[in-house]
Amino acid sequence: MVGTRLTPDVLARRIAQGRGSGEADLVVKNVRLFDLVTGNLFVTDIAICGDTIVGTYGGYRGLREIDGRGRIAVPGFIDTHLHVESSLVTPREFDRCVTRHGVTTAICDPHEIANVLGPAALDYMLAGADRTVMDLRVQLSSCVPATHLETAGGRLGVQDLVARRDHPKVIGLAEFMNFPGVIHADPDCLAKLAAFSDRHIDGHAPLLLGADLNGYIAAGIRTDHETTTSDEALEKIQKGMTVLIREGSVSKDLHALAPLLTLATSPFLAFCTDDRNPLDIAEEGHLDFIIRSAIRLGVPPLAAYRSASMTAATAFGLRDRGLIAPGKRADIVLLDDLEACAVSDVIAGGVLVGPQAYAGREPVAPVGLDSMKARRVSAEDFRVPAPGSTAHVIGVIPGKIITEHLTMELPVAGGAMQPDLAQDAVKVAVVARHGVNDNIGRGFVHGFGLKRGAIASSVGHDSHNICVVGVDDSDMATAVNRLVAIRGGFVVVQGGRILAELALPIAGLMSDRPFEELIQPLKDLRAAASGLGVVLAEPFLQVAFLPLPVIPHLKISDRGLVDVDRFELIG
């Protein structure tokens, strides 16, 4: 990454304050610095000039001073891959929600909102990133639309990406999900990769190994967050990738990959959340949760904290952070307990995180308030004609976005296939909502445990059409129509009655409310879904991943069922 050129005056101030010949702008007194080189704790002050650390391993005087009270100081955490939209709040609220958990840098891919709004989404997210207390960096979305098998609302060509590549918040190119296009040298993929060949390019390569992985990495792709086994992760890091260990609200890979994270491998493994909703953040935490969970699984604390900061900074070319050391960005987390990752105070870019810091941010006008353009539907729209009794069924795997391709014998009535609760096979449909067409894809899904009613979401990766799972066709129609009425969100319906809902009017993906106000509606939604028999811990994000046709094996789009092994429609 290219840094900011400094003036002689700024350099002179930093040198003087670092040498102790003048008072530092800010001094954090009496901390125990956790040294990411040796793993030792050292009692010291930390001197800060502007947004930069200038002094450690000594005593300093400051114009302002913070009493560290013997707390442990570690570098600010870096979330290496996430979608702000999955937090269900705006960048402004994401900042308030997450920074207090020690996250001082977050690297986001806005492809969720970009699949709804196209180039306008990039401009909205870049404007938001310019006005956060944390350093919110942006990877420009590489695969919009994500697939030709579903209808998206937005499209990003290589020219749209190149036009924004020099924005100061941009690192490079976001997760290249179209790995078949890369390894088969699709011209559009090659054009995007070539345009960013001198910048960081994120990967997205589930289950990709061997010679195909070699070709994928040879295209200049340097990271991957879709790794789900230790063997897969080891091959990828041995071939030069940095594997981003993901622990989100649905995709949970930490338990599988934690045994690989040692002092020896920590330079090659970082952490990310990918998709984490505000209820999980409120109840468990964010990267702080991943760090303490890793340590509980036996990861050495030094390895965990290296991965959370130093490795992440190195992988993305952020040479100005990742350590508490002179010349590094003043991103500091004060902990009451190292192994529990008990965050006490956070300093981001030399600013103490808190209400005063947040109050100075300028708001960004919302976008996509008219993005819900689906037609009104009826129960008849969810009828599944029966050419026979054998049905392709999506098999949900809890904690994964990978699905199974099942076949089941289902009951038939009136020439239409019916749900079979004994086999936990219920209906699933995707309703196009971008105004491009009126497509509805229909199928069956196993693994929700749903016994009655319907649940629906306008968050449907990655094209973000409406996805609805239900036992009753009328309830499915009620759920879809309610989502259109509230401009997107989540809803639970039984017997034609709305049991719980959360409106997400910004592109049908994000709320315009403070993050604290989303907690109770999310609890109500979970409780209502559980009352219908749903057994999944995070049913709405699981619903949201059912239309994602980039990971094997069977998915559903607005055009029908997709066999992703062959990348073709089968129904």
pLDDT surpassing 60 at residue 414: yes
Average pLDDT, the chain: 95
If pLDDT is split at 50, 70 and 90, which confidence band does 564 have?
A: confident
pLDDT surpassing 70 at residue 276: yes
What does the pLDDT look like over 348-382, one tens digit per residue? Answer: 999 999 999 999 899 999 999 999 999 999 999 99
pLDDT surpassing 80 at residue 405: yes
The pLDDT, as a whole number, for residue 148 is 85
What does the pLDDT look like over 278-289, one tens digit per residue? Answer: 999 999 999 999
pLDDT surpassing 80 at residue 31: yes
Least confident piece of the model among 181-190, 299-308, 476-485, 541-550: 541-550
Q: In this structure, what DSSP letter does residue 266 have?
A: G
Supply φ then ψ for residue 243, to 5 degrees.
-90, 130
For 48-55, what is the mean pLDDT?
Answer: 98
The one-letter code for the residue type at 445 is: V
The pLDDT, as a whole number, for residue 554 is 85
If pLDDT is split at 50, 70 and 90, which confidence band does 88 have?
A: very high
If pLDDT is split at 50, 70 and 90, which confidence band does 53 have?
A: very high
The pLDDT, as a whole number, for residue 552 is 55
Q: If residue 210 lies in a helix (H) or strand (E), which one and from where to where?
A: helix 210-218
Q: Say if CB 34 and CB 71 are below 8 A apart.
A: no
Q: Say if CB 447 and CB 539 are below 8 A apart.
A: no
The pLDDT, as a whole number, for residue 571 is 66
For 196-213, what is the mean pLDDT?
Answer: 96
Name 383's Cβ contacts closer than 8 Å, sequence gap at least 6.
416, 442, 473
What does the pLDDT look like over 500-559, one tens digit per residue? Answer: 999 999 999 999 999 999 999 999 999 999 999 999 988 998 899 888 765 557 889 999
Q: Which residues pair with 431 in a beta bridge?
A: 440, 466
The CA radius of gyration of the chain, in Å to the nearest whole number, is 24
pLDDT surpassing 80 at residue 42: yes
What does the pLDDT look like over 383-399, one tens digit per residue? Answer: 999 989 999 999 998 87
Name 556's Cβ contacts closer than 8 Å, sequence gap at least 6.
394, 428, 429, 430, 441, 442, 443, 445, 467, 546, 547, 562
The pLDDT, as a whole number, for residue 549 is 62
The one-letter code for the residue type at 264 is: A
The pLDDT, as a whole number, for residue 401 is 77
The pLDDT, as a whole number, for residue 550 is 57
Q: Say if CB 469 and CB 483 are below 8 A apart.
A: no
pLDDT surpassing 70 at residue 338: yes
For 64-91, what is the mean pLDDT?
Answer: 97
Number of residues assigned to the chain: 571
CA distance 391 to 444: 8
> How crowded is residue 361: how many other Cβ atoms within 10 Å of its Cβ?
16
Q: How far is CA 422 from each of CA 300, 402, 409, 559, rounded to the nearest angstrom?
A: 46, 23, 11, 28
**What's CA 160's distance to the chain center, in Å?**
22
pLDDT surpassing 70 at residue 34: yes
The pLDDT, as a whole number, for residue 3 is 66
What does the pLDDT look like over 319-329, one tens digit per residue? Answer: 999 999 999 99
For 558-566, what is the mean pLDDT?
Answer: 84
The token duo for 342 is 């008990």
The token duo for 465 is 């059409």
For 450-471, what is the mean pLDDT?
Answer: 97
Q: At what angle do helices 91-98 and 119-129 cross, to 10 degrees?
A: 40
Q: Say if CB 437 and CB 531 are below 8 A apart.
A: no
Supply the DSSP string of 308-367, one letter for each residue. Answer: IIIIHHHHTT-TT-SSSSTTSB--EEEEEETTTTEEEEEEETTEE-SHHHHHTPPP----
pLDDT surpassing 60 at residue 149: yes
Q: Say if CB 529 and CB 541 are below 8 A apart.
A: no
The pLDDT, as a whole number, for residue 2 is 53
CA distance 300 to 303: 5
Q: What is the pTM of this model?
A: 0.94
Helix (H, G, I), strand (E, B) or coil at 288: helix
Q: Say if CB 85 and CB 113 are below 8 A apart.
A: yes
The pLDDT, as a whole number, for residue 147 is 84
Question: Cα–Cα–Cα angle for 277, 484, 418, nearest 5°?
Answer: 85
Least confident piece of the model among 40-54, 154-168, 421-435, 552-566: 552-566
pLDDT surpassing 60 at residue 1: no
Report percent pLDDT > 70 for the chain.
98
Q: Which residues pair with 246 in a beta bridge?
A: 272
The pLDDT, as a whole number, for residue 220 is 97
CA distance 286 to 296: 16
